[in-house]
């Protein structure tokens, strides 16, 4: 036996401890010092919190009293993780490290990594790869008979008379199988786009180690050979070639021998959603010029083709704001329409799935916000543009985000996803006519089918439907392909009439009556099913001479049906009364809204008047301050004037008094002169 180990396949928790050792955590309290030397401060602090959450658990130490910003940041990072599970902290730790340093594993000291056997390969398998048996959830399946063609390609057969090729060689139903592929596999990724055109699965873009991709890979579903599509630079007739930026979280839709890439996260996002078209004949990209008001740019949205239109719902914009808006793009006129549907829409979310039933009903399931994942189901009637939240039945699914879905007839197959704790291992099926959930199969272990951000597409071979999955992320990035062939029991094609394409249990329902309405239509559906069974039994009984017994059953069933119809009439009357009450409540709500708008208008007017008064008061205060300054200057001038006048008066008085004394002093002298 020869052993081969992939650099990204070290199992947890060993992979986490290898990553922690590489980062520099060795159990001491000063771990953050060595970490900050390799990463930015915010990344180092986050890794510190995740490491302690994984190795110790939730933070129970008190907030540090010291004013050291480093100690406070460490405590805040750890304490902010709350009760996060240690396994989830380990995965997030490794994921952040891979985004910051994709080549970290190759530089981990060899003495730390214990020998791990991830893949066992038989020497004979290496020499004869075409003879490798298929695997089913990790277990080997019985080998089919192999026939070698002239070009050396081997085809597996179910028997000596029937030759099946590609995905048609899978002879196991309702189980995920990993087929043997040839050619160079694409780079592992998640959040990519996938679409099938003429028995070929095209993969575009995605996220690998935190880096966006823009390559186009194609898997021939008949030869099961991978190849890369070379993008040419020749201009198209209608537009010039556009270098397409790497992206992830976009939607890939086949249309008119083109692949349409709608929305998605990019390094430098635009303000609005862009629609890119890849021409499969010329091998060139172009940006389609759309009209109307384009939606804000986003990623993680759902884009569903309904006839000649694309229906977009939700997603997350470049500022990480979650959305729940609804937009429709007409592919013929390339015009966007911002739809304002009635009813209660799904809460803002991203990474959900959507499907259309009977070309009329849009179903939204699951998805996530920044804090939680959802398991709710919402239905939009695209004729009335009304949202509803019908009652789900059967084995109700758990919350999840990042899952993928594909429809086969009236059945909606949903695979993968996660709930911020672990990947979802079940493949579930929703019958869109009855809204009954069931679990089709469950995979074991950390396999690609229990991943987030994987893709799933529908193809067909020899008249049978086949689901094909690719990629995903469950602690490591995947580039594996798995196929599932639904059995007739799990994927029965629905026969839907144009007059009643969907049971009323899926149609929009008024609040408070959904359970009753759902039950009454269950009775109708059950009654119709019994009628069909009795008719079939009647045909058989006619051949065996039991026609009288059959007529007896039909009469009893008709009587039961009449009773049920009477009950349904009562329920419809009650529903009508509730609708009337709802209309009255909406009228009152409209009046209150108008009154509120009037009050808001008055308030705005008063606020404007108050603002003007505040401006006037400010001006008056400024003038008052100016007057006080002038008053002080006036008083100073008056004092100066008074002092000047007083000084002049004193001078005058001194001059006057000086002349008198001179006269008085001069008189005796004159007298003596006279005497002489």
What does residue 567 show for φ and ψ, rounded to 5 degrees? Answer: -65, -40
Q: Please say if the pLDDT value at position 114 is more than 60.
A: no
| Higher pLDDT, residue 554 or 111 | 554
Provide CB contacts within 8 A for 436, sequence distance 6+.
393, 394, 430
- pLDDT attached to residue 413: 98
**Residue 668 clears pLDDT 90, i.e. is over it:** no
Cα–Cα distance, 559 to 565 (Å, whole number): 10
- Tell me how far apart the alpha carbons of residues 34 and 671 are, in angstroms, rounded to a whole number: 119
Percent of the chain exceeding pLDDT 90 equals 42
Bridge partners for 248 per DSSP:
265
Place of tokens 């078209």: 277
Report whether pLDDT(121) > 90.
no
Summarize the confidence of residues 263-286 as an average pLDDT: 94
Spatial CA neighbour of 381 closest among 395, 363, 394: 363
541-557: average pLDDT: 57
Higher pLDDT, 131 or 239: 239
pLDDT of residue 67: 58
Give the lowest-confidence range in 146-155, 184-193, 384-393. 146-155
Question: What pLDDT is stored for residue 569 in this prediction?
Answer: 83
Contact 47, 39 (CB under 8 A): yes
pLDDT at 521: 34
Could you tell me which residue, 405 or 1, shows the higher pLDDT?
Answer: 405
Supply the pLDDT for residue 146. Answer: 36
Q: Beta 436-442 vs 426-431: how paired, if at all?
A: antiparallel
pLDDT at 353 over 50: yes
Mean pLDDT of all residues in 269-287: 94
Average pLDDT over residues 293-314: 97
pLDDT for position 552: 65
Q: Is the pLDDT of residue 238 over 80?
A: no
Confidence grade of residue 496 (pLDDT, cut at 50, 70, 90): very low
pLDDT-derived band at 425 (thresholds 50, 70, 90) equals: very high
Highest mean pLDDT among 112-121, 229-238, 420-429, 650-659: 420-429
The pLDDT of residue 415 is: 97
Report whether pLDDT(559) > 70: yes
Contact between 457 and 406 (Cβ < 8 Å): yes
Average predicted confidence (pLDDT) for the chain: 79
Q: Which of 19-23, 145-149, 153-157, 278-282 has the highest mean pLDDT?
A: 278-282
User: Quick one: DSSP state of residue 296?
Assistant: B
Q: Sign of the C-alpha dihedral, residues 14, 16, 22, 27?
A: negative
Q: Roughly how many angstroms between the first and final C-alpha of the chain, as a whole number? A: 164
pLDDT band at 329 (very low <50, low <70, confident <90, very high): very high
Q: Is the pLDDT of residue 89 over 50?
A: yes
What was the pLDDT predicted at 550?
60
- The region of weakest confidence among 83-87, 238-242, 413-417 is 238-242
Greatest Cα pair distance, the chain, in angstroms, is 193
Question: Please, are residues 339 and 312 in contact by the beta-carbon 8 Å criterion?
Answer: no
Residue 132 has pLDDT above 90, yes or no: no
pLDDT-based confidence at 601, cuts 50/70/90? confident
Mean pLDDT of 443-470: 90
Question: For residue 549, is pLDDT > 70?
Answer: no
Rounded-to-10 torsion of CA 207, 212, 215, 220: 10
Residue 1 has pLDDT above 60, yes or no: no
Mean pLDDT, residues 100-114 taken together: 66
Nearest to 308 by CA among 325, 328, 322: 328
Weakest mean pLDDT among 200-209, 222-231, 369-378, 568-577: 568-577
Place of tokens 């996530």: 368
Whether the pLDDT of residue 448 is over 90: the answer is: no
More confident residue, 551 or 281: 281
Q: Rounded distance, CA 194 to CA 437, Å?
A: 25
| Strand order across the beta sheet in which 302-306 lies | 302-306, 309-316, 322-330, 335-339
Interatomic CA distance for residues 382 and 389, integer angstroms: 14
């Amino acid at each position: 036996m020869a052993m081969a180990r992939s650099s990204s396949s070290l199992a947890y928790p060993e992979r986490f401890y290898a990553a922690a050792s590489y980062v520099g955590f060795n159990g001491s309290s000063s771990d953050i010092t060595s970490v900050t030397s390799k990463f930015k401060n915010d990344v180092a602090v986050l890794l510190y919190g995740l490491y302690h959450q994984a190795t110790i658990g939730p933070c129970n130490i008190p907030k540090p009293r010291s004013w050291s910003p480093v100690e406070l940041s460490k405590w805040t990072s750890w304490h902010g993780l709350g009760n996060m599970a240690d396994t989830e902290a380990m995965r997030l730790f490794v994921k952040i490290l891979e985004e910051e340093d994709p080549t970290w594993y190759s530089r981990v000291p060899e003495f730390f990594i214990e020998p791990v056997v991830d893949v066992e390969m038989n020497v004979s398998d290496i020499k004869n790869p075409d003879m490798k048996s298929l695997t089913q959830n990790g277990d080997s399946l019985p080998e089919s008979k192999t026939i070698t063609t002239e070009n050396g390609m081997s085809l597996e057969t179910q028997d000596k008379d029937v030759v099946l090729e590609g995905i048609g060689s899978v002879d196991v139903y309702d189980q995920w199988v990993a087929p043997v592929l040839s050619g160079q596999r694409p780079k592992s990724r998640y959040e990519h786009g996938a679409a099938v055109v003429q028995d070929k699965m095209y993969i575009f873009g995605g996220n690998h180690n935190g880096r966006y991709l823009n390559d186009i890979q194609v898997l021939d579903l008949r030869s099961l050979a991978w190849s890369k599509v070379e993008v040419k630079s020749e201009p198209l007739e209608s537009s010039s070639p556009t270098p397409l930026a790497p992206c992830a979280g976009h939607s890939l839709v086949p249309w008119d021998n083109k692949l349409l890439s709608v929305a998605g996260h990019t390094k430098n996002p635009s303000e609005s959603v862009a629609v890119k078209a890849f021409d499969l004949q010329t091998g060139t990209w172009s940006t389609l010029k759309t009209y109307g008001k384009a939606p804000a740019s986003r990623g993680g949205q759902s884009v569903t083709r309904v006839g000649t239109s694309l229906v977009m719902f939700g997603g997350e914009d470049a500022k990480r704001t979650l959305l729940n808006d609804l937009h429709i793009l007409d592919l013929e006129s390339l015009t966007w329409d911002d739809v304002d549907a009635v009813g209660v829409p799904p809460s803002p979310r991203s990474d959900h799935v959507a499907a259309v039933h009977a070309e009329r009903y849009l179903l939204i399931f699951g998805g996530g916000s920044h804090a939680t994942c959802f398991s709710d189901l919402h239905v939009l009637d695209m004729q009335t543009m009304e949202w509803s939240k019908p009652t789900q039945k059967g084995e109700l699914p758990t919350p999840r985000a990042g899952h993928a879905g594909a429809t086969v007839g009236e059945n909606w197959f949903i695979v993968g996803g996660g709930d911020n704790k672990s990947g979802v291992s079940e493949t579930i099926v929703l019958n869109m006519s009855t809204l009954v959930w069931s679990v089709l199969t469950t995979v074991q272990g950390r396999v690609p089918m229990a991943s987030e951000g994987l893709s799933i597409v529908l193809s067909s071979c020899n008249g049978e439907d086949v689901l094909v999955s690719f990629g995903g992320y469950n602690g490591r990035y995947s580039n594996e392909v798995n196929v599932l062939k639904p059995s007739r029991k799990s994927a029965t094609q629905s026969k839907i009439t144009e007059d009643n394409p969907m049971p009323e249990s899926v149609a929009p329902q008024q609040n408070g009556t959904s359970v009753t309405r759902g039950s009454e239509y269950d009775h109708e559906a059950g009654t119709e099913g019994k009628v069909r069974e009795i008719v079939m039994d009647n045909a058989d009984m006619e051949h065996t001479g039991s026609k009288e017994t059959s007529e007896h059953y039909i009469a009893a069933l008709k009587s039961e049906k009449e009773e049920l119809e009477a009950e349904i009439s009562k329920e419809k009357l009650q529903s009508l009364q509730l609708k009337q009450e709802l209309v009255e409540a909406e009228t009152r709500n409209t009046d209150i809204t108008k009154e509120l708008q009037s009050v808001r208008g008055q308030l705005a007017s008063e606020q404007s008047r108050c603002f003007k008064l505040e401006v006037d008061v400010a001006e008056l205060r400024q003038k008052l301050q100016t007057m006080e300054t002038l008053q002080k200057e006036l008083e100073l001038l008056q004092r100066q004037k008074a002092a000047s006048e007083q000084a002049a008066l004193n001078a005058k008085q001194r001059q006057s008094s000086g002349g008198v004394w001179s006269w008085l002093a001069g008189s005796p002298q004159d007298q003596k002169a006279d005497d002489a």
